[in-house]
């Protein structure tokens, strides 16, 4: 039975984890010194290694030759954990086991020591899906579990996990994996599988994965199926995963800088008709802009325009519409004069000011009573400024 690349090349020990040096160092030192926290929470984007690290910890603690940072992978414990069949390593999907009844089952299960291993380990994926009642029920158990129990939580939305839970965990952030690290892993996989793929094709896959190794491995799987017995090129990758080539991005940017919005709009239209991912195109354009050797003012203006279009796309605005609007904005921005040139133009102009006497309008009441005595004037002014009739006799009192 065929095993997808993401599963086949899942890391089995800390030394194989890609792109997470800080988290790996912390875990390695904690295991070696016997100071691993009883509750660990991994958070970060999808495909960055949260579940893989949780299983590696389980193997490191329960390996027959451990605890060790280099589990053998061949003993009964390591094999059972890798397959997800170990009786003492309980993997729970937080989305489908989110109610208080499920939390009570965990609390009851914690009371019993492991049947075969050193530690009883609970790996709870997408823990943020738990209800508030379930979280509250687990508070005491997470804070003071039996010495043979370890909790390992994983989430992509740490902001949804209550502070009361977070305060009881050691929190480790797993960042997006750098493109270079993803490219290196993809080359290793391609060589191991006997696949011929050019470097630019690998770079396109790494960029399109947006920091997720699992997504990148899935893209490579699709490309292999598209060209099973032939070399894979950047054009193949562009067709299969909908990522534009660098040439398209450069051509569009050149049209923008040359004020040729018609050709730039044609590029957008062609990409859309060919089902190219316009969000990826927008991100590649921002990257190209950052490296472009153009004036700072125009670079800043274009970065702001296309960052806004990327934000709009993420907020579910139609990608083609967002980029068409951005194209017109970019055309206008490239025609703006620099502030220095505007100042120079202003220096050559003669400004004249015409002074006009402006007479303050007088209220009808004051105009009619101008010739009267002072007391009457004060009375009228008071009426006007106050906006209502005032009894002057009361004032004198």
Report how far residue 245's alpha carbon sits from residue 207's, in angstroms, rounded to the nearest whole number. Answer: 11
- The answer to whether the beta carbons of residues 212 and 45 sit under 8 Å apart is yes
Residue 316 per-residue DSSP state: T
Q: Rounded mean pLDDT of 42-58?
A: 95
Of residues 350 and 85, more confidence is placed in 85
Domain-wise residue ranges, the chain: 5-173, 179-241, 246-338, 364-396
Looking from the CA of 185 toward its CB, the CA atoms found within 13 Å total: 28
Domain 179-241 has CATH 3.40.920.10: no
Query: At which residue do the structure tokens 């120079």 appear?
Result: 344
* Contact indicator for 365, 350 with CB cutoff of 8 Å: no
Q: What pLDDT digit, counting tens, does each position of 88-124 carry? A: 999 999 999 999 999 999 999 999 999 999 999 999 9
Average pLDDT over residues 67-91: 92
Query: pLDDT > 90: what percent of the chain?
Result: 73
Instruction: Note the pLDDT tens digit of each residue in 208-223.
Output: 998 999 999 999 999 9
Position 379 scores a pLDDT of 47
46 is written with which tokens?
A: 């999808």
Is the pLDDT confidence value at 341 over 80? no
Indicate the pLDDT class of residue 335, thresholds 50, 70 and 90.
confident
3-class state of residue 332 by DSSP: helix
The whole-angstrom separation of Cα 156 and Cα 145 is 25
pLDDT of 334: 79
Q: Going by C-beta distance under 8 Å and a sequence separation of 6 or more, which residues neighbour residue 376? A: 369
Fold entry, domain 246-338: Zinc Finger, Delta Prime; domain 3 (1.20.272)
**Looking at the domain covering 5-173, what would its CATH class be?**
alpha beta
Using CA atoms, how far apart are residues 378 and 390, in angstroms rounded to an integer? 11
Beta-carbon count within 10 A of 288 CB: 15
Q: What average pLDDT score do residues 286-302 get?
A: 91
231 C-beta neighbours (distance < 10 Å), count: 11
Q: Tokens for 123?
A: 């790996």
CA distances from 301 to 251, 261, 324, 325, 329 (A): 19, 16, 16, 14, 9
Question: pTM for this one?
Answer: 0.77
């Amino acid at each position: 039975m065929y095993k997808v690349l993401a599963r086949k090349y899942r890391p089995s020990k800390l030394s194989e984890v890609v792109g997470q040096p800080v988290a790996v160092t912390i875990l390695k030192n904690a295991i070696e010194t016997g100071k691993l926290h009883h509750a660990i929470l991994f958070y970060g984007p999808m495909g960055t290694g949260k579940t893989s690290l949780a299983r590696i910890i389980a193997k490191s603690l329960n390996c027959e030759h451990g605890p060790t940072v280099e589990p053998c992978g061949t003993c009964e414990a390591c094999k059972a954990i890798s397959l997800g069949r170990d009786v003492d390593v309980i993997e729970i999907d937080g989305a489908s086991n989110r109610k208080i009844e499920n939390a009570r089952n965990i609390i009851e299960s914690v009371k019993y020591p492991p049947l075969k291993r050193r530690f009883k380990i609970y790996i709870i994926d997408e823990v943020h899906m738990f209800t508030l009642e379930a979280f509250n029920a687990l508070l005491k158990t997470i804070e003071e579990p039996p010495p043979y129990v370890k909790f390992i939580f994983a989430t992509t939305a740490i902001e949804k996990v209550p502070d009361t839970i977070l305060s009881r965990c050691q929190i480790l952030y797993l960042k997006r994996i750098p493109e270079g690290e993803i490219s290196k892993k993809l080359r290793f996989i391609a060589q191991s599988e006997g696949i011929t793929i050019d470097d630019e094709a690998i770079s396109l896959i790494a960029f399109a994965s947006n920091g997720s190794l699992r997504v990148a491995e899935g893209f490579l799987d699709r490309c292999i199926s598209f060209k099973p017995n032939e070399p894979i090129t950047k054009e193949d990758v562009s067709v299969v995963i909908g990522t534009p080539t660098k040439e398209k991005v450069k051509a569009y940017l050149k049209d923008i800088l040359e004020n040729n919005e018609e050709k730039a709009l044609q590029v957008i239209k062609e990409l859309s008709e060919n089902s190219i991912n316009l969000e990826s195109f927008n991100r590649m354009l921002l990257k190209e802009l950052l490296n472009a050797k153009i004036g700072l003012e125009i670079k800043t203006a274009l970065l702001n325009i296309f960052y806004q279009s990327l934000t709009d796309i993420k907020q579910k605005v139609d990608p083609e519409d967002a980029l068409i609007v951005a194209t017109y904005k970019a055309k206008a921005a490239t025609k703006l004069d620099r502030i220095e040139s505007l100042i120079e133009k202003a220096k050559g102009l003669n400004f004249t000011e015409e002074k006009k006497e402006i007479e303050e309008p007088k209220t009808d009441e004051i105009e009619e009573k101008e010739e009267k005595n002072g007391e009457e004037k004060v009375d009228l002014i008071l009426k006007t400024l106050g906006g209502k009739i005032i009894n002057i006799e009361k004032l004198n009192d």
